[in-house]
With several copies, the nearest count.
Chain A
Amino acid sequence: MLMSIKVRYFASLKESVGRSEDNLAFTGLSTVNEVWNRANPGRSLPANILAAVNMDYVELDSNVKDGDEVAFFPPVTGG
């Protein structure tokens, strides 16, 4: 099955990966963690990074499905 996944990066993580967004297309089921690895080969996910799928927080081993928006970002510091 072809998966089309948008990946977004925010704040200090956006600066360290050097981009704000990736659009992945690949076949086969996947998890959030695997999405990171496909988008950032050879670079391990930094500690403390949070992940969201379709704007809800998820664990890194959550599944993703075709059309999902996956986001990675550091701990939030608003307020």
Chain B
Amino acid sequence: MAIKICAEVFDPYLEIQAYQNENPSKGGAVGATSIFIGTMRDFNEGDAVKGMTLEYYPGMTEKQLEKIITEARQQWHVIDTLVVHRVGEILPAQPIVLVAVWASHRGDAFDACRYIMDALKSKAPFWKKELLATEDERWVVENTDGYKRC
């Protein structure tokens, strides 16, 4: 299990591969890997966004992420997890968050990955401030349920 807070741009695929290489023992037990990658969009709430700053609460952020992962492991059969979250100045298309869950079976992997993402969005202390194309700055007020509105 690993939790990383990154102040620099990270490559989610390299992070996963590096983590797997450092933890090769789980190989034959793993049947399912569910991965979520959140990346920065260049629009939000109908406005063009050209950058973002991600603030966090060092110490509490890691503590809450650990708690969320423990809750997931209590509910599903999970072999391992990796969570990486970016902080600082971010540009469109850069990764913000990576959640990877390794399990023997796909239901456990999918459910635990989604649980961790949803809980992270509602409980882990991170805050986004958007820099709009108009040069205005604004704090993102609330995370949504994650579906596109028609």
Contact = CB atoms under 8 A, between A and B. Distances in A.
A77 B128 contact: yes
A74 B143 CA distance: 11
Chain A interface size band reads 10 to 19
B63 to A, nearest CB: 5
A32 interface: no
Interface in A25-79: 52, 55-57, 71, 73-79
A74 to B, nearest CB: 7
Interface residues of B, number: 29
| Centre residue among B127, B128, B140, B143 by max chain A CB count within 10 A | B127
A55 B59 contact: yes
B141 interface: yes
Contacts of A75: 141-143
B57 to A, nearest CB: 6
A57 B44 CA distance: 29
Contacts of A71: 57, 60
Contacts of A10: 55, 57, 125, 127
A55 B121 CA distance: 17
A12 to B, nearest CB: 4
A79 B117 contact: yes
A52 to B, nearest CB: 6
Contact of A79 (B55, B60, B126): B126
B120 interface: yes
Nearest to A52: B60
A21 to B, nearest CB: 12
A11 interface: yes
Interface in B108-139: 117, 120-129, 139
A55 B62 CA distance: 10
Contacts of B10: none
Contacts of B123: 57, 76
B140 A77 contact: yes
Contact of B127 (A52, A55, A56, A74): A74
Q: Which 5 A-B pairs have the closest CB atoms?
A: A78-B126, A11-B127, A55-B60, A79-B121, A77-B140
